[in-house]
């Protein structure tokens, strides 16, 4: 099963350009711009009561689907559908609202979605955060319709934006969460069209970023695999010492479990 080892740090907006330049020197490459849309879902009821609708998961990769069902029988978790975006996916600015628009391709709009699960991190005092992760490509169909058919309800959505580097086996991500306008407005499904990017608001009003350094491993149960990945993360932590302080996260800060409703 794939696992992820991570370290984190906070970064004030005023230091973003400085750290981008430093990490570019370490990685030997310029950062890649990253914009992702995240749609959050929760199960409708307790796992033992929930059943899959007939045909609901036929458009999700089979090997990962079986693992998903096994996990669902244990706890209730928030899940997400995720899609990479670029600037063209957002609505036009006010000055361009009346300009002619190209007709959208419905099939193109559905490309690139994946279903993402992140477990609560392992317990105990550890030098790095470790958690089970799973990303399942949606090979066809509407991801929201799939989640509804598998008895999951829409909760909210947000945009994760930032800059990404790859250094050896590690992914270095400087990112922040952006909220859509009118977050208090009640909805039961994702937005059909996105607002202009400039209308999104940072969840952290200061505009600060989170630095996340991660390595994914396929076999968490081989000690040598975990130890090698952990050593690489700690070496990178040492390289960046004095620039940022990379540390494991508080376990409950990354808790993705849903509290069961009483009754």
Give the separation between CA 216 and CA 16, rounded to whole angstroms.
25
- C-beta pairs of 49-55 under 8 Å, 24+ apart in sequence: 50/151, 51/151, 52/149, 52/150, 52/151, 53/149, 53/150, 53/151, 55/149
Per-residue model confidence (pLDDT) at position 59: 60
Closest CA to 9 of 242, 213, 233, 234: 213
Give the pair of three-digit tokens for residue 71: 């996990």
Q: Which of 135-139, 175-179, 257-261 has the highest mean pLDDT?
A: 175-179
Question: Which CATH architecture is the domain 3-94+105-254 placed in?
Answer: Beta Barrel (2.40)
Going by their DSSP bridges, the two strands 129-137 and 170-179 should be labelled as unpaired
Query: pTM (2 decimals)?
Result: 0.84
Instruction: Determine what percent of the chain is predicted with pLDDT higher than 70.
Output: 79
The average pLDDT across 9-22 equals 98
Question: Would you say 107 and 140 are in contact if contact means Cβ atoms under 8 Å apart?
Answer: no
Q: What is the per-residue pLDDT across 123-172, written as a single tens digit (0 to 9) for each?
A: 999 999 999 999 999 998 999 999 999 999 999 999 999 999 999 999 99
The helix/strand/coil state of 88 is helix
- Between 260 and 154, residue with greater pLDDT: 154
pLDDT band at 54 (very low <50, low <70, confident <90, very high): very low
| Mean pLDDT lowest among 2-6, 58-62, 79-83 | 58-62
Question: Would you say 99 and 33 are in contact if contact means Cβ atoms under 8 Å apart?
Answer: no
Per-residue model confidence (pLDDT) at position 13: 98
Per-residue model confidence (pLDDT) at position 70: 55
Q: What is the per-residue pLDDT across 85-133, written as a single tens digit (0 to 9) for each?
A: 999 999 987 544 444 444 444 444 434 999 999 999 999 999 999 999 9
């Amino acid at each position: 099963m794939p696992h992820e080892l991570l370290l984190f740090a906070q970064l004030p907006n005023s230091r973003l350009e400085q750290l981008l330049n430093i990490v570019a020197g370490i990685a030997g490459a310029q950062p890649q711009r990253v914009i992702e849309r995240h749609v959050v879902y929760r199960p409708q009821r307790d796992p033992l009561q929930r059943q899959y609708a007939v045909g609901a998961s036929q458009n999700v990769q089979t090997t990962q689907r079986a693992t998903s069902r096994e996990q669902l029988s244990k706890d209730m978790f928030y899940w997400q559908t995720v899609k990479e975006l670029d600037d063209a996916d957002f609505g036009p600015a006010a000055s361009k609202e009346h300009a002619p628009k190209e007709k959208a391709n419905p099939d193109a709009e559905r490309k690139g979605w994946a279903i993402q699960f992140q477990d609560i991190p392992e317990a105990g005092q550890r030098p790095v955060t470790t958690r089970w992760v799973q990303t399942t490509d949606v090979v066809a169909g509407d991801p929201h319709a799939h989640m509804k058919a598998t008895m999951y309800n829409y909760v909210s959505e947000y945009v994760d934006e930032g800059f990404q580097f790859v250094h050896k086996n590690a992914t270095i991500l400087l990112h922040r969460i952006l909220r859509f306008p009118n977050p208090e407005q009640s909805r039961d499904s994702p937005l059909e069209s996105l607002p202009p990017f400039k209308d999104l608001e940072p969840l952290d009003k200061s505009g600060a970023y989170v630095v996340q350094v991660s390595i994914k491993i396929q076999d968490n149960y081989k000690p040598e695999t975990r130890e090698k990945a952990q050593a690489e993360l700690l070496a990178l932590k040492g390289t960046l010492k004095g620039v940022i302080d990379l540390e494991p996260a508080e376990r409950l800060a990354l808790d993705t479990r849903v509290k069961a409703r009483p009754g």
